[in-house]
Amino acid sequence: MAKIFIDTNIFLDFYRYNKNDNLEILQKEFKEYNNYFINTEQALDEFLRNREKTIREFIDTLNNQIIPIFDKNFLSSLEVFDDYLNSVKSANANIIKIKEACEKLILTADEDPVYILYKLICNKVYKRDAKIVELAIQRKYIGNPPTSNKNTCCDEIIWETLLKNCKEDLYIVSRDKTFVDNYNFLKREYEEKVGKKLFVVEMISDALKELGNNPSTNLENIESSIMLEKEAEDYVLLHDDSNWVSIIYDALVTLNGQAKLSDLYLKVGEIVKNNYPEKLNNKNIEATIRCTLQRFCGEANAYQNKADLFVNVGNGIWAIKNNDK
C-alpha cells in the first residue's frame, strides 16, 4: 500500500488560515485513511514545538491590540468619555479572555482540534538514529535537497528517515519549495534507493484522490481555502507572477480590462496551460477564479482587506478596478 507523509507546515496552516471547528468533521475521515499515513520522529518534534510557537504568535498579536486608556487628560472631561472608556475596557477584557484561551490551549493539547487531527497521522512514526543524523549532516554539507535553513538539518533528517524506512510508493504532501522545487532530484533518488515511486502534491485531498479515494468536500474546501489565503498573502508580499491573483489580473489586461466570466475562464485556462501547467492539478479552476475575484474586490463580502484589484460591474462581467480615482 502506498504511503502518505504530510509536511509539518500543512498542519500549522490549519492554525493560521482556518476555523478550527471545521476540523472536528475531518477526524472520522482521517481515521478511515489511517493506514496510509506515516510520520517521522523529526516531523513530530517539529510540529510540537512549532505548534506552541504559532499559538504564541497569536498571543503576541493580541497583546498589540490592547488599547491604552487615556483618562488622565482633558478627554475625561468630554461628554462622550464614559462611553469611550466603557467600550475600551470591554474590548480589552475580551482580548484578555482570548489570550487566556490561547494560553490554556497550549497546556491542554488534547482539546486542540489541530493537535487531535495531527495525532491521527502518527499511527506509524519512524524513529531517527545516529546514522540518520549523520547522513542528514552529510547531505547538508554536500548541498543536496531537501534543504533546511542554514542552522538546522530538519528536512534532511526527515528525508533520510523516509529513505531508510519507507518501502512503498510515497506521496509527500507539502507546499514547501524544498520539496516542490526539487521534485525531480528527490524522485530519482527515491527510485534509486527504495525502488519505488515518489510523488509530491500540495493537498492531502490530492494524495487521497491519486490513491483512488474520494476525500470529503469539507477537506477539499478547507484545503482550497487555505491555498487561496496563502496566495493572497504571497501576492501582497511578493507579487509572484505564477500566483492565481496575478494570472487573473494578466488575463483581464489581455481582455482589455474587463470580461465576462466565461471569457475569463478561457483566458486564464490558456495562460495556465502555456505558462504554469503545474496549476492544472487544480480540479476546479473556475471556482478558484471566482473566489479570487471576490477576495480581491473591495465591495465583496469575501474581501480580505488586502489589495483591492477587481470590481464586479454586473451581468457576470468583472473588470480591473481603477484605483486612481
Cα(139)–Cα(178) distance, integer angstroms: 13
Instruction: Give 150-202 as a DSSP string.
Output: TT--HHHHHHHHHHHH--S-EEEE---HHHHTTHHHHHHHHHHHHSS-EEEES
Tell me what the mean pLDDT of segment 14-27 comes to. 79
Residue 325 — pLDDT band, cuts 50, 70, 90? Answer: very low
Residue 140: all three cell numbers together? 547538508
Cα(9)–Cα(260) distance, integer angstroms: 37
Return the pLDDT at 324: 52
The residue among 59 and 71 whose pLDDT is bigger is 59
C-alpha separations of 30 from 35, 47, 108, 211 in Å: 9, 18, 21, 14
Return the pLDDT at 234: 63
Tell me what the mean pLDDT of segment 127-142 comes to. 96
Instruction: Give 258-319 as a DSSP string.
Output: EEEHHHHHHHHHHHHHHH-GGGGG-S-HHHHHHHHHHHT-TTSTT--SS---EEEEETTEEE
Return the pLDDT at 19: 66
Tell me what the mean pLDDT of segment 279-305 comes to. 83
Residue 21 has pLDDT above 70, yes or no: no
Residue 149 — pLDDT band, cuts 50, 70, 90? Answer: confident
Q: Which of 53, 285, 61, 14 is nearest to 175 (CA)?
A: 14
Tell me what the mean pLDDT of segment 263-291 comes to. 87
- Bridge partners of 37, per DSSP, are 4
Cα(271)–Cα(142) distance, integer angstroms: 38
Return the pLDDT at 117: 95
Q: Can you give the pTM of this predicted structure?
A: 0.76
Least confident of 19-23, 27-31, 216-220, 286-290: 19-23
State the chain's mean pLDDT as an integer: 90
Return the pLDDT at 206: 93
Residue 204 — pLDDT band, cuts 50, 70, 90? Answer: very high
